[in-house]
Structure 1
Amino acid sequence: MAVESRDPAEQNQSQPFTGNSDRDLVQQCLQGDSQSFQSLYRRHQKRVRSILFQLCDASALDDLVQEVFLRAWKGLPKFRQSAQFSTWLYRIAWNVASDQRQAAAQRRTRLQVLTHNTPTQQDAPDVMRFHYQDLVQRGLTQLSFDHRTILVLHDLEEVPQKEVAEILGIPVGTVKSRLFHARAAMRQFLQKEGVQL
């Protein structure tokens, strides 16, 4: 059953039930409407969570998602209205992932010094239940952060190459090149693990 708008005056609006566009919601946020930011959060949090899950330690996921939206909220006044909100938000997610990765690397270095370079079992937490997903996840951890980011955004999250270029602040040609090398490295990893491609 179709949901009818209660107010006949609302019938004439371009999007009576699906809600406002990201651009409209951003405008309303800038005018002090915090409910509009809640709408943006609900609309984009799943995708942000998915991106962060692929790039970061899963145990910190909730905190990282909150950090992305906190930075977005604080940064809204600087948001260029000509830009796409989702592209800008995924860029923030990538920055948060980069910061987390650097912090984790520093922690690992300190830990290795403390434990005299003894490797720990905690380096790859077993979050995946399915063998193939686990392999892909392990394959992603073998890639450089740049290559992993490209694969996650383009192949797993299906963000178009042009938008990936905007998110990462690199030319589309670089996206294509990194994608090619990242896929090749992932293929090589999966073949070594016995996956027939």
Structure 2
Amino acid sequence: MEDEATLVTRGASGDQAAFAELVTRHRSMIHAVCVRITGDPQAAADALQETLIRAWRGLPKFRGDARFSTWLYRIAVNAAVAEAQRGADRPQPVDPFDLTPPAGAGPAFADTIADRLAVQAALRRLPPQYRAAIVLRECADHSYEEIAEILQIPLNTVKSRISRARQALVSLLQPDGV
């Protein structure tokens, strides 16, 4: 298995197979971040496609100041935030396959689905800059330093955005009247 730096160098020279391997290594996490930021599977797919197009076109200019994954996440977050802003007025589809209980599922499954839908709805109500920070921290498990690098903002701003996002999520997820 080739190391990432070699694949990046080959990809920057136009090697499509090397770029495809880089995509294979990062696609699922990038897609997950896009889904969490946009709150919509179709918008996330559009953001992922835009991310991969921008990455392919921009790879020859990649300087290596940051890790490739950090650079790719930065592109993905920007694309997902743009999609989220474009789609703010779109109705949010519900995927019926996500709601189908597995065989033998009990009443707790309905609670799990309700919790997921509530969190997705609450995330959609956060400002995009808070949503991006909290998703990178809680869903993609990036450190504060990595998030600062991905979003190109100061470390204290990352901490502030995550703190405010958590406070907002707690408020949004509390039952009415509590």
Shorter-normalised TM-score: what interval?
Answer: 0.7 to 0.9
> Which residue of 2 is the match for residue 175 of structure 1?
158
- CA-to-aligned-CA distance 1:95-118 (integer Å, 9 cap, x gap): 11122233335xx4xxxxxxxxxx
> Which residue of 1 is the match for residue 41 of structure 2?
58
Q: Which runs of 5+ in 1 are unaligned?
A: 1-18, 109-121
Is 1:158 aligned to residue 141 of structure 2?
Answer: yes
- CA-to-aligned-CA distance 1:28-59 (integer Å, 9 cap, x gap): 11233211101001000001100110112322
Change (3 A) 1:20 1:155: same
Distance 1:151 1:45 in 2: 20
> Which residue of 1 is the match for residue 81 of structure 2?
98
Cα RMSD, aligned residues only: 1.9
Shift of 1:194: 9.1
TM-score by length of 1: 0.76
Shift of 1:157: 1.1
Amino acid at match of 2:78: N
Amino acid at match of 1:136: V
- CA-to-aligned-CA distance 1:73-109 (integer Å, 9 cap, x gap): 100111112310000000000111122233335xx4x
Determine if contact 2:43/2:87 at 8 Å carries over to the other structure: no
Counting aligned pairs with the same residue, the percent is: 39
Q: State the structure with more CA Rg.
A: 1
> Which residue of 1 is the match for residue 15 of structure 2?
33
The 3-state SS of whatever aligns with 1:123 is coil
Amino acid at match of 1:40: L
Distance 1:146 1:61 in 2: 16
Distance 1:32 1:125 in 2: 38
Amino acid at match of 1:69: L
The 3-state SS of whatever aligns with 2:72 is helix
Amino acid at match of 2:69: S
Determine if contact 2:43/2:84 at 8 Å carries over to the other structure: no
Structure of greater relative contact order (alpha carbons < 8 Å, 6+ residues apart): 2
The 3-state SS of whatever aligns with 1:192 is coil
> Which residue of 1 is the match for residue 55 of structure 2?
72
Q: Which of the numbers 148, 151, 155 marks the counterpart of 2:131?
A: 148
> How many pairs does the alignment contain?
162
Amino acid at match of 2:12: L
Identify which range, 63-72 or 172-181, moves more after superposition.
Answer: 63-72
The 3-state SS of whatever aligns with 2:87 is helix
Q: Which of the numbers 51, 56, 65 marks the counterpart of 1:82?
A: 65
Distance 1:73 1:182 in 2: 32
Distance 2:85 2:44 in 1: 16
